[in-house]
Chains A and B, each alone.
Chain A
């Protein structure tokens, strides 16, 4: 490896990024802008789910019950209806996400402790809101029933405390309120940092398209120097983002930063190296920029989004997907970012992930160099 040659290629690539101001600004701000937007829209708490109620009982108890389930911020009474057909209309139109049907014997059954039938209908096309509604209706219904039960027991002289025989104490470490925003921000960093990285595949394809590849090859630059030189500028721009993003995360979204900043920067550089090497492999195989980009989407971006455990836990995936996730740089980087931001762990725990990133990066660079030679021969 010759550093002079490496630097020559790096400088050429930096010039390419800076020559056009619009491109440079896009490379620089895309990650931060997308992170801001994603966090804003993804990390919200579900509330005010619209509900339809069909009350066949029409008793004071059923009215008190309706009052109770819609009292909070979580569920809103959209409309009280008279027939199932109306519920059907509202669900199809999407005006309500769930409906509660109170059976005719509601108050009688409740007071005689015989068990109450409560029918809940939810819109299965949006299980998030529907599941939320079921859960919250359940809690309210149980509390309501317990109060009535307690009233009856008190008449019989049984102490109330015995109604809840187990004291369940739940605490969440690292994120006490289990706020999605706190763990999504560190998780999403790996996705947004990957954006400009994706375009590195384009730089090789660009040389092919413009037929400048031959010029580069007759120059005394080694293949690995050429490939690394193409990556280095993107690592540098990526690192600018790495410094920018925690500022937003900490000041704007109030995400804690428990770990060591230097460790974060160093491991981010390794992640960028691995991610960019992955993009490089694509660049070697694809002759045009559009094909290179399409492949990067398929191979780097979509799996990076769905298979790295940010939204969907890896342990719950099928075997093959779990195996694939091991080879995605994003999986390891998500562990690293959550670690340094939330848990405050350092290299002593994160080194296997760092090593894995180095292995992935080196392997991809070597594969690129190997096939680069073959394709040119």
Chain B
């Protein structure tokens, strides 16, 4: 399980931390002119598309869209080049996107719009007899902070690490008592001369060790295999990881005592883990969620933990910037663990 998590992170991070490319695009060029070929070439050069064989009618496009084989189709009209070169002409380009996969569809739309805008601008300048080098519109200079190359891995791998770490801790914590209950060995343990606190601590320490070892391994994968930097203090990161592990441990212990069997404990872990995953900001930033979800995010420890993880790794933040998240995590930790301890002790006695 320990090594498995790190290996898994390696595989998934590798597969998903790349820009969206190779989207199948089908083109029906009715014009066959240098201008239309220039358009096709410009689309190919974006790297976003994988061009299918050109077709000569609408029906193969319809078929391919129905089968989900392509993400987009472009139809170039027969009068494309004549319209384009005439001063008042305005050729119509039709684009059909496969809305059944909206994420690649939007990417395709973005790339096509970019190419067409650039081409249009050139045509306007030609019509006006202006030199393209002399006249320029907006000259965007974009700077990306904390992630200069806009590497997807910087963004996705910490969230994937967060998900796997949480599940590991919850799973190990959830089996501690549910296993003993299922086998009926809990009674034996209770008649032994241990105080309930000793039993709880004895069960908790291995989980903490497993969680921290798993964290160290996965952090190694993220750092060395995906070159995500650790710009802040590594010590602070580990101290806070330990804190987060203890918070999740409290949740796992409560699940463990609540469940009558391991099966039930696992189902609860699945449900709670998936709910928490929503707030890691993997697919959608929490700031963009509905108001009620944003409020809910505040009571999810994983949400604060991921903010801390990202900030220390990418922004190099220290205590000065992180204290609100740390405070939130501490408060949640105290509430969860107090409740969990009381609950577990009551159940044990």
Report the minimum CB–CB distance from A334 to chain B (whole Å).
9
Q: Mark B169-187, 1 if CB is under 8 A from A, else 0.
A: 0011001000100110000
At the interface, yes or no: B289 with Cβ under 8 Å from chain A? Answer: yes
Interface string of A286-317 (1 = CB under 8 A from B): 00011101110110001100110101110111
Residue of A nearest to B135 (CB): A113
- Within A9-62, the residues touching B (CB, 8 Å) are 20, 22-23, 26-27, 30, 33-34, 37-38, 40-50
Chain A residues with Cβ below 8 Å from B102 are: 172, 175, 178-180, 182-184
B33 at the interface (CB under 8 A from A): no
Q: Which of A94, A145, A198, A317 contacts B15 (CB 8 A)?
A: A317
B87: A residues at CB distance < 8 A:
162
A249 to chain B, nearest CB (A): 14
Given A118-B138, A298-B5, A290–B175 Cβ distance below 8 Å? yes
Q: A129-B288, A298-B4, A338-B68 are in contact. Are A26 and B100 (CB under 8 A)?
A: no
B139 at the interface (CB under 8 A from A): yes
**CA distance in complex: A367, B127 (Å):** 69
Interface size on A, residues (CB 8 A): 110
Q: Is the interface of B mostly helix, strand, loop or mixed?
A: helix
Whether A129 touches B287, Cβ cut-off 8 Å, given contacts A23-B264, A145-B137, A179-B102, is yes
Q: How far, in Å, is A329 (CB) from chain B's closest CB?
A: 17
Instruction: List A contacts of B71 (CB < 8 A).
Output: 313, 315
Chain B residues with CB under 8 A of A169: 92-95
Q: Is the CB of A128 within 8 A of B285?
A: yes
**Bound-state Cα–Cα, A163 to B285, Å:** 37
CA distance A199 to B136 in the complex (A): 61
Mark out the residues of chain B between 297 and 328 whose CB falls within 8 Å of any chain A CB in the assembled complex: 307, 310-311, 314-315, 317, 321
A127, B136: Cβ atoms closer than 8 Å: no
When A161-B88, A165-B124 are in contact, do A138 and B271 touch as well, CB less than 8 Å?
no
Residue of B nearest to A295 (CB): B4
Asked if B92 contacts A315 (CB within 8 A), the reply is: no
In the assembled complex, the CB of A337 is this many whole angstroms from the nearest CB of chain B, namely 10
Q: Output the residue of B152, B183, B260 with the most chain A CB within 10 A.
A: B260
Whether, in the assembled complex, A117 has its beta carbon less than 8 Å from a beta carbon of chain B, the answer is yes
Q: Is B191 an interface position by the 8 A CB rule?
A: no
Residue B167, interface by CB 8 Å: yes
Contact of B97 among A138, A159, A178 (CB under 8 A): A178
Bound state CA distance, A289 and B266, in angstroms? Answer: 10
B145 near A170 with CB under 8 A, answer no
- Are B138 and A116 touching (Cβ within 8 A)? yes
Asked if B32 CB lies within 8 Å of chain A CBs, one says: no
Q: Which residues of B contact A128 (CB under 8 A)?
A: 155, 284-285, 288
Binary interface encoding of chain B residues 22-62 relative to chain A, with 1 for a CB under 8 A from any of its CBs, else 0: 11100000000000000000000000001000000000000
Which of B94, B97, B124 interacts with A172 by CB under 8 Å? B97
CA distance A119 to B143 in the complex (A): 7
Jot down 10 A-B pairs with beta carbons below 8 A, ordered by A.
A30-B270, A41-B279, A46-B288, A122-B143, A126-B155, A145-B138, A180-B102, A199-B263, A206-B263, A306-B160
Residues of chain A touching chain B, judged by Cβ–Cβ distance below 8 Å, are: 20, 22-23, 26-27, 30, 33-34, 37-38, 40-50, 91-94, 97, 113-130, 134-135, 138, 141-142, 145, 158-159, 161-176, 178-180, 182-184, 195-196, 198-199, 202, 206, 209-210, 289-291, 293-295, 297-298, 302-303, 306-307, 309, 311-313, 315-318, 321, 335, 338-339, 342-343, 345, 349
User: With contacts A92-B311, A172-B105 known, what are 19 further pairs, Cβ within 8 A?
Assistant: A23-B261, A37-B274, A42-B283, A44-B289, A44-B290, A91-B145, A91-B146, A92-B315, A128-B285, A129-B288, A165-B90, A172-B96, A182-B102, A209-B182, A298-B4, A321-B15, A338-B101, A339-B68, A339-B100
